Amino acid sequence: MSTFERIYEIVKKIPAGKVATYGQIALLAGNPRWARVVGYALHVNPDPEHIPCFRVVNRAGEVSPAFAFGGENMQIALLQNEGVTFTAEGRVDLKKYLWHPETEGGN
């Protein structure tokens, strides 16, 4: 089990219609300092079909300017397709769509 795999497990557990931040994923992965590593892990993205990196945004809820899905707006479109709304600044309402793993009801 590598640091990356742990991060992938967290990202893959993100439900549709919600988004998570790098710092939060890093924290769930085990260390809050892995924020940069999380971004790197998603950058390599060995399994984009099972790793919805488009549901991962930064602390400000903004998407990456150098997204690899075919355009930063592509990520926004995917999230909107999930039901996530965006602001005129291209940011997500973390206060409304921020993923809460503790509220998942356990399972």
Can residue 73 be called a binding residue for DNA (CB under 7 A)? no
Give the H/E segment covering residue 63: none
| Residue found under tokens 């709304």 | 85
Interface residue with DNA, options 9, 13, 15, 39 (CB under 7 A): 39
Tell the smallest beta-carbon distance from residue 83 to DNA (Å).
20
Binder among 10, 19, 28, 53 for DNA (CB under 7 A) = 53
Exposed/middle/buried for residue 77 (C-beta within 10 Å: 0-12, 13-18, 19+): middle
Q: Which of these segments, 63-71, 82-90, 97-105, binds DNA (CB under 7 A)? A: 63-71
Using rule CB under 7 A, residue 19 touches DNA? no
Q: How many other CB atoms are there within 10 angstroms of residue 94's CB atom?
A: 17
